Structure 1
Amino acid sequence: MASTTVPGRRPHRLKTAGLVISLIILLIAAVAFTVSVVQIQSAITGYVGGNGIWSRAQLTAVSHLDDYAAQGHPEDLRLARQWLDIPLGDMDARLAMEQRPMDYEAARQGMLRGDNHPDDLAGMIWLYRYFSNVGVFRKAVEAWRDTDPYLLELNRITQSLTEAWPTSRPDPAQIEAVRARLDAVNQQLQVYARRFRTAMGEAARWTSTALSVVSAVFLILLALVAWRLGNRLVQIQRSSEQKFRSIFEQSAVGIIQVDTRGIVIDANQAACQILDTPDDQLLNSPVMERIHPDDLPLGSGPHKALLRGRMDSYTLEQRLQKGSGDHLWARLTVSMVNRRSGQAAYFVVMLEDISESRRLASELSYQATHDALTGLLNRREFEHRLAMMLGRARSEHSEHALCFIDLDQFKIVNDTSGHAAGDQLLREIARLAESRLREGDVLARLGGDEFGLILQNCNLDTAANVTEKLRQALESIVFTWEEQSHSIGASIGVVPIYAEAPDISDLLRSVDIACYMAKDGGRNRVYVSTPDDRQLHLQRGEMAWLNRIQAALTENRFYLDAQRILPARDDKKGLRYEVLVRLTNEQGERVSPAEFLPAAERFGIVHKIDRWVISEVVSQLARARQHLETLDACHINLSGRSFDQPDLADFIVGELNAHNIPGSKLCFEITETAAVHNLLDVKSFMTRLQKLGCTFALDDFGTGLSSFGYLRQLPVDCLKIDGSFVRNITRDRNDLAMVQAIHDISRTLDKVTVAECVEDGAAADLLKDVGVDFLQGFGLHRPCRFRELLFPHTHPEAADEPPLTEQVRWP
C-alpha cells in the first residue's frame, strides 16, 4: 500500500505568533488612526480657536484704526498695528505652508504671530499639509485665502493713515472716506470668518462620524482575534510552565525564588553550585544568611522601592557566603512576580558569580593608577591626588607641600650596568622612600628617574626637614650590580600647596623649577621655594623663551654667524670655522645667545635649534660648491639634550644624503659634560657618523674631573681647550700648565688641539710655543655672517684672510 503524507498543522508557536502579529498590526493601525484623528480634532479645535482670535484681532484692529482716523492718537495706531499683525501672521503661515517644499519654520513663526498656542502648532501645520485639499477642509481653506486681499487693504489703510496724520490733520471728508473703507473691509472679513468657522464645524462633525465607524469595525476585529488568542494562550501557558521549569533547572545562571518573608522557596542546580550548598540546605532558609554582613545595607533601599512598585527590578553586586565558609562576589538581579487569583507574590533572584571579573577589574584599576615597575602611583593618579589636595587647601585653608625628586647620576647606572640594574635600583629607591614617609603622604613615580611627593598637613619648614632626611637616605644607598657599585643622589624641589595657586599645572611648573634650582645649585640638594621666591619668578621668565623660540623657528628668525679657526703654524692649510647660531627678536633686534640658549637647553627645546643649524649649514654648503672644495671642516655645536632624541644620527645622515655633502666636511662639537652624561648614546652616534667621514671635537675640554678617563672611550678627533684656561694663560702659570697637560695627552692619543678664546697676540705666541694646532678667538677673527664666508665674491670684506701673523695686530 502506498503511503500518503498529510500536511500537518503549523507549530503552535507559529499560529500564536501569527495571531499576535495580527493583533499588533491592528493595534498599530488603531493607534495610528486614533492618533491621526486626535491630531485632526486637536488641529480643528486649534483652527476654530484661532479663528476666534483672528476675528477678535481683526475687529480690534479696525476699531483702533477707526479711532486713529478720527482722533490721530499714536497709541491707537500702535494698538491697531499690534492687533493687525495677528491675522497677517496667520496669512504668512498659510503662504509658507503652501510653498513646495513647505517652509516649516516660517509657518511656525507665522502661527506664533497669529497668537495660536505653541502646543497646537504642529497639529495645525500637519492638518493643513495633508488635508487642505480634502473636501470638508477645502472650503475652510478657500475662505481663509479670500481674506488676503482685505487684510492687505487694511495694511494699506494703516500705512496711509500713518503718513497722513503726522503732517497735519486730514480733511474731514478724507477721514470719513477712510472710515467707510474700514467698515466695508470689516464687513467682508466677517463674512469670510463665518464661512471659515462653518466649514471647520462640518469638518469636525465628519471626523467624529468617521471615527465612530472605524472604531466599531476595529473593536469587532479585535474581539474576534482576542477570542481566538485567548483559547490559544491557555495552552501556551501550560506549555510555558513546563518549558520554564526545564529552563529553570538547566540554566547555567543561578536562579532563586524568595517569598516576601525572605525565605528561599526554590533554587535551581546552578545556584546550589555557585553557593556551594545542597538544595536541601538552601531551601526554606533565610536568604539574608547568604549575604555578607557588611553588604546587607546595599540592597535595603532598592528592595523597598521594588516592594512599593517604584521599579520593576534592580541589580547590585554583593559578597555572598558559600557553604564552605568562603565568600564570592555575585551580581544579583532581583525582580518581583505579582501573582493574582489569591496567589502570593514572590521574588526571582538571578545569581552570577563575578569573582573573577571583579579581580580582573581590580587589577586593571590598579594598573591604570600605578607604575608597573615600582608599584607607586603613576603621573595621572598623582595629578588627581594633587588636585584633591589643592581643593583641600582652598576649602580648609590647610598647609601641604609638593615635592619633585630627580635622581642624580642615575643615567650612569643604566649606561654602565644596563637597564635591568636601573629598574632594580628604582624599585629599591621606591621601597626606601615609602618607608620614610607617613601613611597619608602620597609618593608617585612620574617617569624615568623622577618622583613626585605630596606631604599632607605639612608646612615648608617641616617639608624641608623631611625631604632633607629623604635625600640623605637616598645618598646613603650603595647599589651593587654584578660586582659593580653605584652611588646616587637626589635633587629635590619643594613648593607649598597654597589656596592662591591657580591650578595644579602652576604648582607642577613651580616645583619643576624648584628642582631645577636644586640641580643648578650643585645637585644632590633640596631647594625650598616660597610663593614670593624671586629666583623662581626669574626661572618662570626663562620659561617664556619656550614660546618665543618656537615662534622664531616658525618665522625663520634664526641665522648663522661663523668664526674662523686658524692654524697656529703656516704648514697647516685648509679652511676651518665654527658656525654660531644667532636670533633676532620680533622687532628685528639681535638677541644674545646667552639669553635664549640656556633657556632652550634647560627646558628641552635646544634639539630643535640644533637640527635647524644642521639643516641650514648643509643646505648652504650645497649651494656653495666652490667653497666646499676649499673647506677643511665646518664645526657644528651639538647640545647634550639632542642626544635624548634617538633619531639624531638618522636626521644628519638624511640631510647629508639629500644634499650630497661629504660627511668629512662636518666636525661636530660636543661638550665634555654632554659626552659624560650621555656616554653610550654619544659613542654610538660618533661610531655611526664616523663611517661617513664626520669628525668630532670635545668642546670646553678640561672643565670636568673625569675628562681624561672618558677620552679613551670616545672616537674624538679634536680637543677644544676650554677658554677659561686660555684667557689668562700669559699671567697664570697654572692655566699654562693645564693647557700644556691637555696638549701633551692629546698628542699621546693622536688628537688635534684647538685653543678657544684667544684674545691677543701674546696668548697666540705662547700657545704656538706649546704646540697647539689651531687657535680661535676674537683676537684672531670676529664672527661674521656665514654667507660672507660662503660667497666672498659678493662680500669683498670676507675674502681670504691674511696669514695669522699678518692678521693679528700685536699690542
Structure 2
Amino acid sequence: MVVAWLLTSALVHYRRLAAGMIGNVGKNALLEKMFTVSSLLIWNVDDKGNLTAIEGPLEEKDGVSAADLVGRSLDIVETINPVFCDMLKRAQQGELFDDFCAIGHRYYHHHFFPQQHRKSGKTGFQCISVDITNEQELRATSELSQQVISQTTEAIVILDRQRVVTSVNSAFSQLTDYTWEKMVGSRRGFEVIGQPTFSLYRTILNGLKRTGSWNGEVSLRRSTGELFAANFTVSVIKNNAGLISNYVIFFSDLSHMQRTHEELRYLANHDNLTDLPNRRLFLDRLEQGVKRAQRSKSQLAIFFIDLDNFKLINDVHGHYVGDELLKEIGRRLLLAVRQSDTVARLAGDEFTIITENITDTMEVNSIARKIMTCFEAPFVIFGESIDMSASVGIGVYPDDGEDLTSLLKGADEAMYKAKAEGRNGFYSLSEGKIGHLPESMFFPSELRLALKRGQMELVYQSLHDLRSGRVIGCEGLLRWNHHCRGIIPPADFMTLSEGAGITAAIGQWTLNEACQQLKAWRAQRVDLDYVSINIANSQINDPGYPEMVIDALAKYNLHPSSLMLEIAEGVLLKNMTQACQLMRHLSATGVRFSVDEFGSSLADYSYVRDIPADTLKIDQRLLMRARTGREDAALIRALVGIGDILQKNVVAVGVERPRQEELMQELGCQLAQGFLYAKPMTAELFSKTYTRPANPH
C-alpha cells in the first residue's frame, strides 16, 4: 500500500512536469528508478497514434511481445486487450484520465497524460500502468471474507489485543439481540457468557495460552437476560512478530441442535405413518416392562394384532386408502386401552399392545374384547365404508414366557393360532381359545321386523355452549336394540337398510320420534333450542322428504328451527346438487342444517360458503389426534376459522377430557359434545338430568 501511494504521488508530479512541458522522463532519474523497481509499464504514443516505445515487463499474449507492438498503430493493442485499446484511443483524442483494466494476467491502474516531443515539438501522449494485482487480490479476498462472515449462521465476534470488540456479524445480533452499534467499541465480547465463573475464565485463558484456542459448551445470555446453551470457541490471531493482535469468538445455538436431536430420536422410535411407537421402541418398553414385572412379581400381557386380509384392501382400494385405514386403526386401539399402555405398529399390518400390572386372566380377556370391539364398526375412509377384522395373539408374563424372547414367540404363535381358528378372534397359548366375534350379518327381513317390533330407539347426547355452560340442544342417535346381539350402532345396519329399501321408513320413524320427544321435553321444562338427527343418502335424494319434515313439525306443533338435520360431509360431497336443493328448500322454512364429520375429507372447503348450513361439526378423529399432532390442531384452527368467517357455529365432537375442552377453546371452538359432559342417554334419563326446576311462586 505504501509503494502504491508513492507511485501515485510520483505520477502526479510527472503529470505536472508533462503539463508544463518541462524536460522529459529521461531527465527524472528518481522516476526512472521507481518505474524499474515497481513493475510499471510505460507506453509512448506519437501524434499519429503509433506506439513509439514500451518500457517495462509486458507479459506476452498469444506470442505477441512488446517488440512486436512498437512502431505499430494503436489497433494492434486490440490483440492484448480491447478495453485497454479503447483507453489509448481516448487518450489520443486529448482526454486526460486514469482507469483500470487487466493486461494479460495482471491488473493495472492506467494513467494517461500528454507528452511533447523535445526535438519536433509535436504532442503525443504517454500512459503509465501501475501493477496493482496484489492489492486487487487482497481486496477481493477481504471482500469474500466479509461476505462469508456476514452470511454464516455461526455468530462471530472479533476483538483487538485489548479485548475491545471491533466487529460482530449479523448472526451474533440475531442470536443475542445485541446490535452492532452496542457491541463495537465495548469490552463486552466475553460478557455474553451467561453464568461466568473464575474457573471458566481461567480454563479459557489456559487453553488460549497452550494451544491458541479453546472450545466448549457454555451458557450464553441474550440482551433480554434469557440463557441458551451454545458451542463456544475462542481463538487468538498473532501478527508476524508472534504477538496477539486479535481474539476471535465463534458460537452457535445448541438449543436448535438439541431440538433437532430430539426430533431425530422421536423419528427413530416412532412409525412415520401412524405416529405410534415402532418395533425398536416397542422392544425397549417391553424389556423395561418385563424387568418391572420381575421386581414387583406382577403380570404383564402383550397382544399381537394382525389385520385379516389387509392386502385385499390395498389391492381393491389402493395404498393411499390402506394407509389411512392403518392410521384409523391405530387411533381406535389407542382409545381402547389405558394411557399407560403401549400401542405400537411393528410393520405393515401388524400392531402390538403392552399392558402392565395385569391382575388375572379375566382382565386379559376384557382387554382382548376391547381390542376386538375396535373392529366392530366399519371404518369410513374418504367416504368409503370398509369392514376390517383382526386376529389377536396373547402372551402373558410369566405364564407364557419368563424372558423377552419366549414371551414374543408365544404371542406370535398365539396370533397364528387365532388365524387358523378362522380369524376375527383372539387366542392365548396358556388359556387356549378365548373368544371369537362372529361377523356382523343381518337379513333384510330381520331389520324390517325390528322396526315393527319397536326395537329401534333413539338415545340423546347433549350439546354444550362452552361460554355459558348451557345445554343448547341434543343429538338423537339411532340404535338397534337387537334381541340377541344387544345394542347395534347404525353403521352396522344402515348399509343393509339402503339395499333393502327401508331407509325411508327408518328415517321417518327417527324424525317423528325426535320431534315427539322434543315436544314432551318442553312440556317437562327441558330447555333445548333444538334436537338434531342424521339423514342418509337416500333421504337426500327422496323428493318426498321435505314434505315429510314439514308434516312432522306441524304434527307436534314445533317451530322449524327446533329441528336440525345433520348430513355427513362424505354424503354431502357425493350428493352436492341434491343436498343443496333440500337444504335451501327446508332452511327457507327455518329448519337448521349441520355438516357432520366436517374436515374428514380432502375437500376444497370453499363448498361450505355455498350451502345453507348454520353449523359445522368437526370430525372427532381430528380431536383425538390434536393432542399429539400439531398438523391436526392447526387443521382444527383453520376449520374453526372457516366457521367464524362464514358466521357458522362450530361444534367439537368427541370431547372426553378437560384438556381437550381447553384445547378446543384455545383453538376458538365454543360448542362441544362428548363424554366429558354426558354419554348418550335414554330420553327418560335425559329428562331427569336436564329438567329446569319450577319457579317458586
What range is the shorter-chain TM-score in? 0.3 to 0.5
Give the TM-score of the pair, scaled to structure 1.
Answer: 0.31
Give the TM-score of the pair, scaled to structure 2.
Answer: 0.36
Structure having the higher helix fraction is: 1
Structure having the higher strand fraction is: 2
